[in-house]
Structure 1
């Protein structure tokens, strides 16, 4: 008998819209390589973000600013090859879209053509609207990002919670509506008061994805190195660490070293 391959239903921007409408929460995680992307996709994650956080957790930089467009494309291509189901979003890195909308479009096209990803993400509100419109107008889905925007760290000077003051909160609400009107399919809300995130989420017809923004967003995102306990130094209030891989990996490698030193590995059954 010939086996019939089961059709895999892909997550699309339309799927996310339906999830918001039905009240189903959206799960999102970062990934930067083939192997983890394959695991996360198989585990049922809805969205993989190829984040510019690779600058921190992969390359060891203090900020997200140094990573280049070509480096983002390299990581995105690896993730794409590991995924059958989930939606892949790629961060436009610092310097690849801020100058003008033409550069933003060129950067987005380069990501889509060379990596095979499904969409891009950029930071900013009113100041990024022209770029959003330009990219969306070319048929490329765009995810927005408001609140704490790590690419602007030197402007803010700190990673504290954003939009506590009324003026900044009002701007964030206006920016969210502007991003929706410009064609964004979703918006990340990072490190803002939960009540504000709830208000914004209710005001929009597109999904919100929270990180440090409370439980009333339409979905949540975490950096894989934080969620899995690979990075043990970063422990903000919003992080729930599901594993302690740093400790488990250390224990395993120590045992491997000991087995090699004692000539226990490889044994006869592990030899040809």
Structure 2
């Protein structure tokens, strides 16, 4: 099997269609289709179901995808090792919560980059659910998540416990039955905590307004648009400045475990191992 054909195959799976993969890789669609067709002939099996909406994997295609990821990772690590035997090189794609990206993660990334300048770092923010799915699908090497994900294929390293609080506009009274809820998309651990807290009071989820950006939620809370649950460390500067105010939560809803997840079958090269060393140093409560 040709390594380039495997890379094309992986790109198609992750893009969801041959046309999108061709666009992303800068190849003609017909060229990629021919490569995949030849790969199917070589392996004497169908790898993809081609539909008007894109492609889906056959059972053998799914198995090849899992193995292709490992082959490509091993190939890249081998090339880096031979070309730069004394240097940690390669690429690393890490998912993270926006709150982590604005608090403890920058210091870890800074230290990592200073010690491993030849590693190409890519950081992607997203909800716990979205990041976990991408780790499972080999699209991320690992991710920082909130709460727990029960997946047998994932390894989880506890990092810390975040203290959470309810935030509202300065001087306003909290009206959980009528205030709009300012939340991240479905799959966010903070949103899940807010919904669980309201459910414990037998209050129906109402008026949810979704945001993709942490700063937009904080600014909207300050403007009186609604209430939200966020890590206390993240919002403390805004509380101190008088932009918003916090309300303590019942103990069972006031903390959230933060973890780092990665696949158990992940081929861990030096670049990932070095990052893991830094992430394991976190063992505090924020």
TM-score normalised by L of structure 1: 0.25
Higher strand share: 2
Higher relative contact order (CA 8 A, sep 6+): 2
**Greater C-alpha Rg:** 2
TM-score normalised by L of structure 2: 0.24
